[in-house]
């Protein structure tokens, strides 16, 4: 079904009042359903509106290039995540990453530790100095280091946490090429949860800052992986 107007008109908010167009950076169902309901009510009889997903907004204007979006789906009983990279609304690449969870695995296979964290009931996320996105603290296991030591070190380096209670959640694996895995082969890590009660003021890593959020972010550094890790953590509560 064709749009009633050109995509460029939507991006530039031409031929339509700006309050009838909403840009959404990612697929957040609750937020989008709220917008759909608002347009459907149409109290002013404007004829509804348009929701454009995969587009970042700045000062009311669509930022170029458009970003694309990801969705979660089931394949052969396994949850996977698919990312659509867009170029002026044409799909130029589809990346599929498979995330699995295990109760245990051989210790020597554990190469990463990721630490989902909260402090005073708020989610703890890090912002890298070279990125405008947010991520759960975590990183690579170093030589002669236990995976628990990796988790504690990474949590301190990336958040400045000095007092916390940390516990393992489960083993996770990622198959598919991503920022930390060029081969695409299945790699394994340990997922943790930490309740942080005290932070240092200064960070000792590549992170620019730490933020405490009531809700999960929409701008993810690892959108193909970390939302699924948090979902699994919440499922196991």
Q: Is the pLDDT of residue 5 over 70?
A: no
Largest CA distance in the chain: 67
pLDDT the model gives residue 201: 86
> Which has the higher per-residue pLDDT, 168 or 91?
168
Q: What is the pLDDT of residues 214-234, one digit of tens each?
A: 999 988 888 878 999 999 999
Across the chain, what does the average pLDDT equal? 79
> Which has the higher per-residue pLDDT, 153 or 64?
153
Q: What is the pLDDT of residues 209-219, one digit of tens each?
A: 999 999 999 88
**Residues 6+ away with beta carbon under 8 Å from 192:** 113, 114, 115, 116, 151, 166, 167, 168, 169
Enter the pTM of the model. 0.66
Fold held by 99-235: Nucleoside Triphosphate Pyrophosphohydrolase (3.90.79)
CA torsion 87-92-98-99 (nearest 10°) is: -10
| Least confident interval from 45-54, 113-122, 155-164, 190-199 | 45-54
Q: Is the pLDDT of residue 161 over 90?
A: yes
pLDDT the model gives residue 204: 78
- 1: pLDDT confidence band, cut at 50, 70 and 90? very low
Q: Is the pLDDT of residue 55 over 80?
A: no
Provide the residue ranges of all domains of the chain, joining segments of one domain with +. Answer: 7-62, 99-235
pLDDT the model gives residue 126: 96
Q: Which helix (H) or strand (E) is 178 found in, with range?
A: none
């Amino acid at each position: 079904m064709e749009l009633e107007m050109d995509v460029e008109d939507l991006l530039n908010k031409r031929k339509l009042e700006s309050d009838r167009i909403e840009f959404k950076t990612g697929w957040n169902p609750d937020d989008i359903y709220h917008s759909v309901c608002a347009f459907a009510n149409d109290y002013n009889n404007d004829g509804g509106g348009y929701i454009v997903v995969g587009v970042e907004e700045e000062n009311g204007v669509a930022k170029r290039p458009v970003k694309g979006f990801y969705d979660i789906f089931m394949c052969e009983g396994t949850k996977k995540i698919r990312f659509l990279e867009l170029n002026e609304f044409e799909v130029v690449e589809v990346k599929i990453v498979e995330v699995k969870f295990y109760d245990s695995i051989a210790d020597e296979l554990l190469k990463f530790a990721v630490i989902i964290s909260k402090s005073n009931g708020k989610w703890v996320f890090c912002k890298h100095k070279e990125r405008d996105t947010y991520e759960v603290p975590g990183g690579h296991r170093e030589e002669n280091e236990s995976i628990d030591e990796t988790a504690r070190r990474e949590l301190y380096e990336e958040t400045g946490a000095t007092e916390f209670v940390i516990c393992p959640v489960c083993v996770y694996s990622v198959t598919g090429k991503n920022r930390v895995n060029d081969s695409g082969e299945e790699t394994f890590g340990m997922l943790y949860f930490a309740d942080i009660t005290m932070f240092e003021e200064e960070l000792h890593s590549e992170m620019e800052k730490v933020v405490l959020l009531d809700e999960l972010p929409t701008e993810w550094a690892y959108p193909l992986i970390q939302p699924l890790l948090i979902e699994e953590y919440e499922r196991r509560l």
